[in-house]
A = this chain, B = another copy of it.
Amino acid sequence: MNVGVLGAGQLGRMLALAGYPLGLRCLFLDPAEDACAGQVAGQIVAPYDDPGALDRLAARCEVVTFEFENVPEAAVSRLAARHPVYPGPRALAAAQDRLNEKNLFHELGIDTPPFAAVSSRGELDAAAETIGLPLVVKTRRLGYDGKGQAVVREPAELEAAWKRLGDVPLLAEAFVPFEREVSVLGVRARSGECAFYPLVENRHRHGILYLSRPRPGDPFTDAAQDWCRRLMEALDYTGVLALELFQHDGRLLANEFAPRVHNSGHWTIEGAETSQFENHLRAICGLPLGETRAVAPTAMVNLIGNLPAREAVTAIAGAHLHDYGKEHRPGRKVGHVTLRAADEAQLDLSLQRLLSLLPG
A314 contacts B295, C-beta separation under 8 Å: no
B295 contacts A340, C-beta separation under 8 Å: yes
Which residues 5-59 of A sit at the B interface, judged by CB distance below 8 A? 13, 17, 20-23, 25, 39-41
Query: Within 8 Å of chain B (Cβ to Cβ): is A315?
Result: yes
Q: A17-B17, A296-B295, A340-B273 are in contact. Are A321 and B40 (CB under 8 A)?
A: no
Q: Mark A313-333, 1 if CB is under 8 A from B, else 0.
A: 011011011110100000000
Q: A21-B322, A21-B323 are in contact. Are A291 and B317 (CB under 8 A)?
A: yes
Question: Which residue of chain B has its CB nearest to the CB of A287?
Answer: B314
A34, chain B: closest CB distance, angstroms: 14
A-B contact pairs, 11 of them (CB 8 A): A20-B39, A20-B325, A21-B320, A22-B323, A23-B321, A23-B323, A273-B318, A282-B314, A287-B310, A287-B311, A295-B296
A87, chain B: closest CB distance, angstroms: 20
User: For residue A40, which residues in chain B have a CB less than 8 angstroms away from its CB?
Assistant: 20, 40-41
User: For residue A192, which residues in chain B have a CB less than 8 angstroms away from its CB?
Assistant: none
Question: Which residue of chain B has its CB nearest to the CB of A23?
Answer: B323
Question: Which residue of chain B has its CB nearest to the CB of A290?
Answer: B314
Q: Mark A255-294, 1 if CB is under 8 A from B, else 0.
A: 0000000000000000001000000001000111011010
Question: Which residue of chain B has its CB nearest to the CB of A286?
Answer: B311
> How far is A41 from B20 in the complex, measured between Cα atoms in Å?
11
User: For residue A291, which residues in chain B have a CB less than 8 angstroms away from its CB?
Assistant: 317-318
Residues on A facing B (Cβ under 8 Å): 13, 17, 20-23, 25, 39-41, 273, 282, 286-288, 290-291, 293, 295-296, 307, 310-311, 314-315, 317-318, 320-323, 325, 335, 340, 342
In the complex, besides A23-B325, A295-B340, 10 extra interface pairs with C-beta distance below 8 angstroms are A20-B323, A21-B321, A21-B322, A23-B307, A23-B323, A25-B39, A287-B310, A288-B311, A288-B315, A290-B314
User: For residue A340, which residues in chain B have a CB less than 8 angstroms away from its CB?
Assistant: 273, 295
A360, chain B: closest CB distance, angstroms: 22
B318 contacts A23, C-beta separation under 8 Å: no
User: For residue A314, which residues in chain B have a CB less than 8 angstroms away from its CB?
Assistant: 22, 282, 287-288, 290
> How far is A24 from B40 in the complex, measured between Cα atoms in Å?
12
Q: A17-B17, A340-B295 are in contact. Are A22 and B317 (CB under 8 A)?
A: no
Question: Which residue of chain B has its CB nearest to the CB of A316?
Answer: B288
